[in-house]
Amino acid sequence: MEVLLALTISVLFATGIFQMLRRNLIRSVIGLSIISNAINLFLLASGAYQGEAAAYANAAGQRSDALPQALILTAIVISMGGFAVVLSMLYVLSVRYKTSDSDEVKGLTH
Amino acid sequence: MNALVLLPIVIPLTASAVAVLIRAHHRLQAAWAFGAMLSSFICSGALLWAVWSSGAPLVYQVGNWAAPFGISLVGDPLSALMAVMCQLVLTGGFLYALGCRDQCAQYPAFYPLFLMLAGSLTGAMLTGDLFNLFVFAELLVFSGAALTAISDDKFGTEAAYKYFYISFIASIALLLTCGSLYASYGTLNIADLARRIAADPSPPLVLPAMALLMVFFMVKGAVVPFHFWQPDFHTAAPTPVHAVLSSVVVKLGIYGFLRMTTLLFTEQAEVIRSVLVVVGAIGAWFGGLGAVGTYDAKRMLAYSTLGQLGFILVGIGWGTPLALSAALVYAFNHSLLKAAMLMLAGSVASYAPVKTAAFTAITGLGKKLPLAGVLFMLGGMGLAGIPPLNGFVAKFMLFSSGLDARAYPSLAAIGLAGIVTVVYVFRAFQRIWWAPLPEGVKPKPYGDRLLAPAFLIALSVILGVWAEPLIALSQTVVAWMTSPEQYVRAVLGG
């Protein structure tokens, strides 16, 4: 289970970073969203820091640490708000600049 | 009594929610929000006074959960001083917003967002929990980005987008830090972490956590390799907002580095310090030269912030008690001066026919504004470190601490970079106040009021002539900072 979780986190991270480095603004925001989900999984994994009582496979008699799950809940809510803000700004940008190419959004560089 | 720590955070956040409810009555909302700002400033002042006079920090355990399990809000001398600094400049910024002619200051969301910015910034300074720091930092970015996105400048949204995007990556770094430290030590309370890291620095995730936390504070503080958002942001943001963001919000990074080197990672502090000296010296040059070469008064001051932060970081990097107290005094003075200078630049820009702070548009406008000229001159002297102003006191302390620490190469680097400050400040002064007004340019008859910058400049003159209280305070703070076990004992008890 741990190997699977580690692989999932790494794949999500790699996909997220690849998307963030694209020139398309929308893709880069989607990359950010993928990375923040990878972080949530990472926080979940940090709750099983003794390697025995895992959050995701609760064996009989063992309890997993509940705090990281509370942290994830907070982080999910905050990132949801963040994406609402960033997508609304992206909408304004796309209306104003008529493009989603990050190289064309350069009103402030002289 | 301990609830005094809570007040500077709770008053602005509650008042922000109430201010949304009374959005239909603009004047009532403004009066309400100003009252809230003033009272939270007074509360933070009372907090500093209580901490200073009793010599013991005030710790508030939220919900009465005992220390390592619940969230602690810690008003120790360092965070109380930082909170007072933030609230002072935020109140000044609010005063400017009341007398400013920007369209966006009339929006119903402006004052609530400004109060949210104030509450979250103070919260980030006062919190004693790493995850709570993340929450407050996110709230800070949300309100700062929203305030910029509604700017009158048509590029406001672009600037806000850049700021938000880069800050979001910084928040991801902080979350990774939280995860790594929690996996290593099973706690997120800063005092508890400090104790455990000092006792056993062996877990493999500690050094990555340290690096990621540095990334977070560097982005927050616009330290040079992570500064991309800052100049663009300050060119486009509304004047009251960037006056606050460029002066006190970047001090979150300074605060973070002070905490990291003296509390969280005392064992590994040498590594952090050597990095800080290098990025600080590069930043002092990069910011100074960037300010000399720019086309816009606000952008010039934004680059100047990068440079001045470089000086403070070098001070933290030297790490001697004298250098730390010099860095604190420098940070305090820089907040006052830079906020006032940005307000003056914004005020001059508000007289331009088309509101912009580009030098081509504001050349010669100063003829109508002799008072702003005097204030800008005084502020510029403060930034450059010329005697009667408090900037001189700070620079003198910093350079003598460098001599004391025998850090001659870095001292030479920032000493030479200090000369660049004189160049860009007085070049801007010449272009705005000495150059003749071009033919056919008709300045607007009214502009932003000068009360707030006059207040801040007057305060910095007073602190320059009568500098002892601030220096004594900073030395008390440093004496406290250099014995981290006191902080740990105060928070965890026992």
**pLDDT tens for each residue of A83-101:** 999 999 999 888 888 888 8
* Any domain includes A108: no
* Any domain includes A83: yes
**Based on the number of CB atoms within 10 Å of its own CB, is B249 exposed (0-12), middle (13-18) or buried (19 or more)?**
buried
Mean pLDDT in residue range A20-37: 90
Mean pLDDT in residue range B162-173: 91
Mean pLDDT in residue range B178-184: 89
Question: Is pLDDT above 60 for B128?
Answer: yes
Give A60 to chain B, closest Cα distance, Å.
22
* Any domain includes A34: yes
* Any domain includes A41: yes
Over chain B, what is the mean pLDDT? 88
Q: Which of B157, B164, B168 sits opposite A96 (nearest CB)?
A: B157
Q: Do A96 and B131 touch (CB under 8 A)?
A: no
Q: Which uninterrupted H or E stretch holds B75?
A: strand B72-75
* Any domain includes A87: yes
Q: Which ipTM did the prediction report?
A: 0.90
Report the residue of chain A nearest B175, measured CA to CA.
A39
Residue A49's pLDDT band, with cuts at 50, 70 and 90, is very low
Residue A59's pLDDT band, with cuts at 50, 70 and 90, is low
Residue A30 domain boundaries:
2-97
Q: How far is CA B256 from CA A64, B149, B251, B261, in A?
A: 32, 27, 8, 9
Q: What pLDDT score does B380 carry? A: 87
Report the residue of chain B nearest A81, measured CA to CA.
B142
Q: State whether residue B212 sits within 8 Å of chain A by CB.
A: no
Which residues of chain B have a CB within 8 Å of the CB of A39?
172, 175-176, 179
Written as one letter, the residue type at B275 is V
Residue of B98, B89, B171 whose CA lies nearest to B131: B171
Distant-in-sequence, close-in-space partners of B473: CB < 8 Å, separation ≥ 6: B52, B77, B81
Mean pLDDT in residue range B413-425: 86
* Any domain includes A29: yes
Q: What pLDDT score does A63 carry? A: 61
Which residues of chain B have a CB within 8 Å of the CB of A70?
none
Q: State whether residue B175 sits within 8 Å of chain A by CB.
A: yes
Distant-in-sequence, close-in-space partners of B16: CB < 8 Å, separation ≥ 6: B33, B36, B111, B112, B113, B115, B116, B119
What are the tens digits of pLDDT across the range B284-316?
999 889 888 888 888 899 899 999 999 999 999
Q: Do B149 and A43 touch (CB under 8 A)?
A: no
Q: Do A65 and B164 touch (CB under 8 A)?
A: no
What are the tens digits of pLDDT across the range B183-231?
888 888 899 999 889 888 888 889 999 999 999 999 988 888 888 888 8
Give A40 to chain B, closest Cα distance, Å.
9
Q: How is chain A split among helix, strand and coil, in percent rounded to 5?
A: 65, 0, 35
Report the residue of chain A nearest B203, measured CA to CA.
A49
Rg (CA), chain A: 18
Report the residue of chain A nearest B181, measured CA to CA.
A46
Residue of B98, B99, B173, B183 whose CA lies nearest to B138: B173
For chain A, what is the domain count? 1
Distant-in-sequence, close-in-space partners of A110: CB < 8 Å, separation ≥ 6: B295
Q: State whether residue B235 sits within 8 Å of chain A by CB.
A: yes
Most confident range (mean pLDDT) of B18-27, B363-372, B436-445 is B18-27
Q: Number of residue pairs across A and B with CB atoms under 8 Å?
A: 86
* Any domain includes A7: yes
Distant-in-sequence, close-in-space partners of A59: CB < 8 Å, separation ≥ 6: A53
Mean pLDDT in residue range A52-71: 64
* Any domain includes A110: no
Most confident range (mean pLDDT) of A8-22, A33-47, B468-482 is A8-22
We report the CATH number of the domain holding residue A21 as 1.10.287.3510
Q: State whether residue B63 sits within 8 Å of chain A by CB.
A: no
Q: State whether residue B145 sits within 8 Å of chain A by CB.
A: yes
Q: Do B176 and A42 touch (CB under 8 A)?
A: yes
Question: Is pLDDT above 80 for A47?
Answer: no
Residue B9's pLDDT band, with cuts at 50, 70 and 90, is very high
Give A68 to chain B, closest Cα distance, Å.
8
Q: Whole-model pTM?
A: 0.92
Task: With beta carbons less than 8 A apart as the criterion, state whether B149 and B156 touch.
Answer: yes
Give B239 to chain A, closest Cα distance, Å.
16
Phi, psi for residue B472 in degrees, rounded to 5 = -60, -40
